[in-house]
Amino acid sequence: MHPKGVIWTLGVLVSLYGACMLLPIIVSFYYKAGHEAEFFEAGFIVILLGVAMMRYGGHAPKQLSHRDGFLIVALAWLILSLLGAVPFWTTGTLPSIVDAMFESSSGLTTTGATVLSGLDQLPHSILFWRSLQEWMGGMGIIVLAVAVMPLLGVGGMQLFKAETPGPVKDKLTARVTETAKVLWYLYLGMTMICALAYWLGGMGGFDAINHAMCTVAIGGFSTHDASFGYFDAPLLKLMAIFFMILAGISFTLHFAAALRGFSIRTYFRDEEFRTYTGWICMLVVLISLQLDWSGEIEAIDVLFNVVSIATTTGFAVSDYSQWPPGATMLLLMTMFVGACAGSTGGGMKVVRIMLLFRQGMREIRRLVHPHGVIHVKMGQQRIPPNITEALWGFAVLFIVCYIIIAALLAFTGVDMVTAFSAAAACITNTGPGFGGVGPAGSYQSLPEMAKSVLIFGMILGRLEIYTFFVLLVPEFWRD
Amino acid sequence: MNVVILGAGEVGYHIASRLATEGNDVAVVDQDAARLQVIADAMDVKTVCGKASQPSILEQAGAGNADLLIAVTTNDEINMLACQVAHSLFKVPTKLARVRESDYANHEGLFGRDDLPIDVIISPEGEAAKVVMGRLNVSSALDAREFFDGAIQLVEFIVRPKSKLAGLSLMELPEVMGDLSVYVVAHEHNGRWSVPSGDTVLLAGDSIYLTVSHLQLNAVMEALDLKCQSSKGQNVMIVGGGHIGYIVACELEGSGAHVKLIEFNTERAEWLSDQLNDAVVIRGDALDQKLLEEENIDKMDDFLALTNDDETNILASLIAKRYGVSHVVTLVNRSIYAQLVRQIGLDVTVSPRLSTVASILGFVRKGRIHGMASIADGNLEVLEAEALETSSILNTPLKDLAMPDDTVIGAILRGDTIIVPSGLVQVQAHDRVLVVTTSASVAAVEKLFEVHLEFF
């Protein structure tokens, strides 16, 4: 391990993040929203810290081992989540440190759970900072760092492997910095198109940009208390549905399709995509069947809410926690399925669920054919046993973590529905849950202890368990 | 004609034997001196011992003035390289090579004058797989061949006691069949094959070969109370996942059959499992009774024994028969076994080497004979010939035609229409004619079509 190299790299990331904190100042000047000094103060503190870390680290590491990669990524998410709280604190928006940290990590992990209320009255700079955090967390700020800094090229693959979600890592191009750039170009392009679409659809400029950033990042922060429900136009809702589904698709697949002129066939040839879209369709049908349509439920709202939860975005246009128990149960389940691997979404990822299911089917087929040679396959590709074993480990750890977090929440005095749904919404990076933390409520009412546990849960979910837990094993620290 | 044959295996042996008896100068090259001695003792050919791809060895074999090179060693790469050497150094005009690996054969751009100079690629496994698939499609037939690119089927089956054919003479056949046109070209009674005439009577237990248009195949088989079903939904067990087994399994999978493929080699089984989608690959011994019972051998519709080992195939097929599998296809390479197996109750056999020999000879006889095959355990020959303007058989009603002994015209393809012959039909120029004859009369039939062995 190279401790100085790790600290230097973290210093780079912290400085970069501090520089991002200066961006809301521009928004602040434009909208005369105030808080310029506070944001400058926050950015200054963070950049100072980053530079100090870089100075301590000395120089760019020549080589990063894969352990360094894990350490940098895990620590980066922790540190950046905490430092993101500084503007909330300096501006006095959230005087409680735990609240500020909760809001910040919820943003960076693209969860979208909020402790803030009265969003419509908040200054534009604060709102923009929340959205910006989600947007940076969506594609991964570390991927961004790899993309913009050739210095990180050497160990970039280690960071890349540790950060990007999904069981199968693809390098899109020969060099990892190029891959990271391609991913960010796609991400940036999609965000701009989305913002343009929202703006043409009738949103104000500020709302369009903020919502576009949070849609494409599969985040779910809104600039209004009513979330996306603030906008009544069906066209806007349809656009949001489209972009949420789009952002829930693997960016590797987007890239492959882009090379072939965005052909639909490339998408449909991908098994994960077919399962993902099929799953959402099935969910919409199953939930629609259970709803009482005689009330004032609108079809587009149902579609919107289902897609929002299924992609783990967390926007809401109506209070789905009032739906019948069968429907809410399905929503809770689909949080765990999540979006496609390699997308900006959370959850366990569709491909993992598929492979786990196939692994299960394989065991059953092996009972029928004791001498059969049966492999788990994805497309035409055999999935080697080490990957399926890792998958089982992941699934077990994910569920165990979920249960432990839910139990810890209950210990702090949260009721059961809220505890289970808040734990699920945070570990899958969805955002709103049911009960007290439903789309109509907020996480504000939870005890501070519960919020701390959830901060941990969000980061755990975003890092897909392993990257975090690997730091807790003694072997990791031995040479 | 001067022919150089590389490889003295089963295929090389048979081709050398056929070409030598037809009066060609043949040289055979192989690394195995003992094997060459067997050939030298059996026929009048020159033998050269050495590595087939080496220029000096090829020169020794007389590649310098050879008209045709046939590379059928066991090694694909040596076959291809030998063709290249023969082309570059000796300017041999025509080169045939056996290439097993389908990955080579699938890339057509690889072969050509300026690339790998091979004129004809022969894939024995591909040929054998084709034959196996042909048998499966007409699963109640003992033998089934395709001619005229699949337009005509030659089908063999046994006349059952209750069949409406039993006791019928061939002259009465058209009345029974109604508007379905079939023609009986070969008849077996008490183990003796002959080309039937109009007053031959079909008795229960006889085997016959029929020519049928592929369009009427299903109707004919139905009329004769014989099953003819597609393999869709069938349960098929394949033993042996070599080249042939793999190709057949792929095709069956594509046609919607439930396939179980048993392979002994662990690595090969893993590979097969990767390549195949729905087929169940089972690693194990094909002669393991417990394994076969575990996989419900008694519920199988078809059983295909396609390993490289003749004995395993024969034994596995016998086991399958004992479990009551109705349709068993056995792959047999050695010609001696091919004749034996019928006597022990296995009726459908495929010999990849013989089908390779047939297709190579078919090419060698390029002239006016397009294809040739042995049927009826090698007792009869089928020729696919084209009638020329100069042919002596033109414009004479068939019944008046002076045909060699034991020879019959089984079908005529004129343009796209298939004519099942009657006595009044006349052969016209450019017709393609299916002739069934005995081995002894092949030369006479070739004369009939004015085929001179002028090659290129």
Which of B273, B277, B291 is nearest residue A373 as measured by Cβ atoms?
Answer: B273
Residues of A in contact with B280 (CB under 8 A): 365, 369, 372, 374
Pairwise CA distance, residues A232 & B65, whole Å? 89
Which chain B residue lies closest to A365 (C-alpha atoms)?
B280
The band of B392, judged by pLDDT with boundaries at 50, 70 and 90, is low
The verdict on a CB contact (< 8 Å) between A372 and B280 is yes
Residue A3: half-sphere exposure toward Cβ, Cα within 13 Å: 3
Q: Is B161 helix (H, G, I), strand (E, B) or coil?
A: coil
Contact A243, A330 (CB under 8 A): no
CATH for B235-350 is 3.40.50.720
The verdict on a CB contact (< 8 Å) between A365 and B283 is no
What is the CB neighbour count within 10 angstroms for residue B237?
27
**B143-223 is a CATH 3.30.70.1450 domain:** yes
Cβ partners under 8 Å of residue B234, min gap 6: B257, B258, B301, B302
Residues of A in contact with B281 (CB under 8 A): 372-374
The residue written with tokens 């087994």 in the block is B245
Tokens of A265: 């066939």
Q: Is A469 helix (H, G, I), strand (E, B) or coil?
A: helix
The verdict on a CB contact (< 8 Å) between B281 and A382 is no
Residues of A in contact with B282 (CB under 8 A): 369, 371-373
| Rounded percentage of chain A residues whose pLDDT exceeds 70 | 94
Q: What is the 3-state secondary structure of A118-161? A: CHHHCCHHHHHHHHHHHHHHHHCHHHHHHHHCHHHHHHHHHHHH
Query: What's the pLDDT score for residue A38?
Result: 87
Phi, psi of A446 (to 5 degrees): -70, 150
Which pLDDT tens digit goes with each residue over A371-393? 888 888 887 788 888 888 888 88
Name the minimum distance, in Å, from the CA of A169 to any CA of chain B: 21
Q: Using an 8 Å CB-CB cutoff, list residues of chain A that contact chain B.
A: 365, 369-375, 377, 380, 382
Query: What's the pLDDT score for residue B368?
Result: 59
CATH for B355-448 is 3.30.70.1450
Tokens of A237: 């809702």
Reference A102, options A451, A352, A372; nearest CA is A451
Between A and B, how many CB-CB pairs are < 8 A?
36
Query: What's the pLDDT score for residue B456?
Result: 39
The verdict on a CB contact (< 8 Å) between B280 and A365 is yes
Which of A372, A375, A382 is nearest residue B282 as measured by Cβ atoms?
Answer: A372
**Highest averaged pLDDT of the listed ranges A56-65, A353-362, B417-426:** A353-362
Which of A365, A371, A375 is nearest residue B274 as measured by Cβ atoms?
Answer: A375
Which pLDDT tens digit goes with each residue over B307-365? 888 899 999 999 988 888 878 888 887 777 877 777 787 767 777 777 777 777 777 76
Name the minimum distance, in Å, from the CA of B319 to any CA of chain A: 19
Name the minimum distance, in Å, from the CA of A391 to any CA of chain B: 20
Phi, psi of A438 (to 5 degrees): -65, 180
Query: What's the pLDDT score for residue B331?
Result: 86
Name the minimum distance, in Å, from the CA of B132 to any CA of chain A: 24
Which stretches within B150-242 are classed as H helix?
Answer: 173-177, 217-223
The verdict on a CB contact (< 8 Å) between A369 and B272 is no
Which chain A residue lies closest to B295 (C-alpha atoms)?
A369
With a CB-CB cutoff of 8 Å, which residues 279-308 of chain B face chain A? 280-284, 291, 294-295
Pairwise CA distance, residues A352 & A167, whole Å? 7
Residues of A in contact with B284 (CB under 8 A): 371
Q: Residue B286 pLDDT more than 80?
A: yes
The verdict on a CB contact (< 8 Å) between B282 and A369 is yes
Contact B261, B279 (CB under 8 A): yes
Contact A249, A141 (CB under 8 A): no
Residues of B in contact with A380 (CB under 8 A): 274
Q: Residue A290 pLDDT more than 80?
A: yes
Which chain B residue lies closest to A376 (C-alpha atoms)?
B274
Query: What's the pLDDT score for residue B451?
Result: 44
Pairwise CA distance, residues B247 & B256, whole Å? 14
> Can you give the residue ranges of every domain in chain B?
2-122, 143-223, 235-350, 355-448
Which of A365, A371, A382 is nearest residue B284 as measured by Cβ atoms?
Answer: A371
Pairwise CA distance, residues B148 & B211, whole Å? 12
Which pLDDT tens digit goes with each residue over B9-45? 888 888 888 888 777 888 999 998 888 888 888 888 8
Which chain A residue lies closest to B270 (C-alpha atoms)?
A373
The verdict on a CB contact (< 8 Å) between A371 and B291 is yes
Answer whether B143-223 and B235-350 agree in fold.
no
Amino acid at residue number A3: P
Residues of A in contact with B291 (CB under 8 A): 371
Which pLDDT tens digit goes with each residue over A66-101? 788 888 888 888 899 889 998 888 888 888 889 999
| Rounded percentage of chain B residues whose pLDDT exceeds 70 | 88
Q: What is the rounded radius of gyration, in angstroms, for the C-alpha atoms of chain B?
A: 23
CATH for B2-122 is 3.40.50.720
Q: How large is the average pLDDT for residues B138-164?
A: 73
The more confident residue out of B99 and A173 is: B99
Pairwise CA distance, residues A343 & A349, whole Å? 9
Which of A365, A371, A375 is nearest residue B283 as measured by Cβ atoms?
Answer: A371
Q: Residue A64 pLDDT more than 80?
A: no
Q: How large is the average pLDDT for residues A137-159?
A: 68
Which chain B residue lies closest to A372 (C-alpha atoms)?
B282
The verdict on a CB contact (< 8 Å) between B273 and A382 is yes
Which chain B residue lies closest to A384 (C-alpha atoms)?
B274
Residues of A in contact with B283 (CB under 8 A): 371-373
Query: What's the pLDDT score for residue B225?
Result: 62
Residues of B in contact with A375 (CB under 8 A): 270, 273-274
Which pLDDT tens digit goes with each residue over A226-284? 888 888 888 999 999 999 999 999 888 888 888 877 788 888 888 889 999 999 999 99
Query: What's the pLDDT score for residue A423?
Result: 93
ipTM value for the complex: 0.71
Q: Which of A358, A362, A371, A374 to mutate to test the interface with B (most CBs of B within 10 A)?
A: A371
Q: Is B419 helix (H, G, I), strand (E, B) or coil?
A: strand
